[in-house]
Structure 1
Amino acid sequence: MPYKEPKIEKMYYTIGEVARMFDVKTSLIRFWEKEFDIIKPFKNKKGNRMFTPADVDNFHLIFYLVKEKGMTLKGAQKKLKDNKEDTVNNFEVIKKLKDIRVVLMELKENLEGDEN
């Protein structure tokens, strides 16, 4: 049985890493941190923000609501405050559907390549 490298999960992400994940500027990450109380980064001795995987998951929700669905910040805040569980469930379903779409598109490309 071949040796398999264990997948190591990061405990903290810097603001730069989070900004690159979403292809946004760090100023937007700082702004969303102030606007949404579900994001609470740890600050080290230097004062640098260190985001947990839970914070990153919350950024995914905010990004989905604001950037993909086009909601206002107030609307996204209200949605997360009123029914975060439904929002999370809807986001997870959409994420899985997008993953399925990617797999299906790859299959389609492979099938079209075999025909040529």
Structure 2
Amino acid sequence: MSPADSRVLTAELPAIPRKRYFAIGEVSELCDVKPHVLRYWEQEFPQLKPVKRRGNRRYYQQDDVMMVRRIRSLLYEQGFTIGGARQRLKEMARGGAVNDAMIATPALPASANRRSEEIKELRDELESLLRLFPE
């Protein structure tokens, strides 16, 4: 993956407008996923079920858009396979309400948590030193 590709993955997605229904093109833009990928994910993830109307047109609701973002995060940002993402979503649904924080923060080993805490302490110490020496 090139550096440009990684910037695309980490870019923030736009806010979801307060609407009842979204066309597939709108969901594609809101979630940064191509329409053909959304149609494929509908087959692979039973949780993703947009309403189909006349002419087989798909209309996604708020929950569907959030589910697409969860799936995108699992696949593109956290590196899950389709099967792994499907299993993870099942586990999270069994555990109660699905929380975006649960998806955005993968479980870290204890050593990584320790390092993360040490980095936070160092950052806090550096910030306090910077306050001692105003510009």
Measured against the shorter chain, the TM-score band is 0.5 to 0.7
User: Is there any run of 5+ residues in structure 1 with no aligned partner, and where?
Assistant: 1-7, 95-114
Scaled by the length of structure 1, what TM-score is found?
A: 0.67
Give yes or no for the alignment of 1:55 onto 2:64.
yes
Q: Which residue of 2 aligns with 1:105?
A: none
How many aligned positions are there? 88
Matched, 1:31 2:40: yes
Which is worse superposed, 76-85 or 32-41? Answer: 76-85
Identity of aligned residues (%): 34
Aligned equivalents of 2:51, 2:97: Cα separation in 1: 27
State the one-letter code of the partner of 2:69.
Answer: H
Find runs of 4+ consecutive structure 1 residues off by over 4 angstroms: none
2:20 is the alignment partner of 1:11: yes
Larger Cα-atom Rg: 2
Q: CA RMSD in A?
A: 2.3
Counterpart residue type for residue 10 of structure 1: K
